[in-house]
Amino acid sequence: MNPVWTRRALTAFLLAVLVICGMLLYRLWMDRVPPDMVSGEALIGGPFELTDQDGNTVTDQTYKGKLMLIYFGFTYCPDACPTALGVMSAALDKLDVAAERVVPMLITVDPERDTPQVLKDYVSNFHPRMVGLTGTPEQIKQVAKAYRVYYQKVAGSAPDEYLMDHMLLIYLMDGEGKYLTNFGPQVTPDEIAEEIRKHL
């Protein structure tokens, strides 16, 4: 037998085996992967346990049945956070009574300084229904990871004068805590209110 043809036949056979094995492994993987991982839904959000501005322990289930408008920031933020919370508040004002079905929320990325009392004083400057959430550094790390939020401490001139570098998105979640959409820094109150109305 021609050795060249023997090598080609062996190569073709091995390739066929690899293709079949690959197909079997893919089928096995598809059978084991939860449906939500292959449904095309964004894997943003999830269970959390934090402390609100009144010192109460809350979870994602506390807000079940209501839309959540969530921003990750911190009270010492010089500009981006006040701007985002101001836009969120203005959007709620445009919704009038329908805003009662929406929970506006600031989740701090600076739990060392943002105690419940600090958050209470801060969020009251924006909207009477604004919720401020904090927790242990580990709890904040977990919820930030669930929402794919980047944050990092940036050193200042003194140990207690640091800032936080963080993502500037506002998330809209449905009544089951599932991701609907997000808004960037240039969003207007009208745009947020219009999007919220679609899901009320």
Number of DSSP helices (H) and strands (E) in the chain, helices first: 5, 9
The pLDDT value given to residue 63: 96
Q: What is the mean pLDDT of the chain?
A: 85
Work out the number of other CB atoms within 10 angstroms of the CB of residue 80. Answer: 15
Mean pLDDT of 106-113: 97
- Whether the per-residue pLDDT at 128 is higher than 80: the answer is yes
Q: What is the pLDDT of residues 135-179, one digit of tens each?
A: 999 999 999 999 999 999 998 878 788 999 999 999 999 999 999
Across 53-71, average pLDDT: 97
pLDDT at 2 over 60: no
Phi, psi for residue 122 in degrees, rounded to 5: -75, -55
Q: Does residue 186 have a pLDDT over 90?
A: yes
pLDDT score of 18: 39
Identify the three-state secondary structure at position 45. coil
pLDDT above 80: residue 14: no
**Confidence band of 103 (pLDDT split at 50, 70, 90):** very high
Domain limits of the chain? 3-32, 49-197
pLDDT digits (tens, 9 = 90+) for 65-75: 999 999 999 99
Q: What is the pLDDT of residue 46?
A: 93
Asked if pLDDT for residue 53 goes beyond 80, the answer is: yes
Q: Torsions phi, psi of 199, nearest 5?
A: -115, 5
Per-residue three-class SS string for 123-149: HCCCCCCCEEEECCHHHHHHHHHHCCC
pLDDT above 50: residue 27:
no
Query: 49-197 belongs to which CATH class?
Result: alpha beta
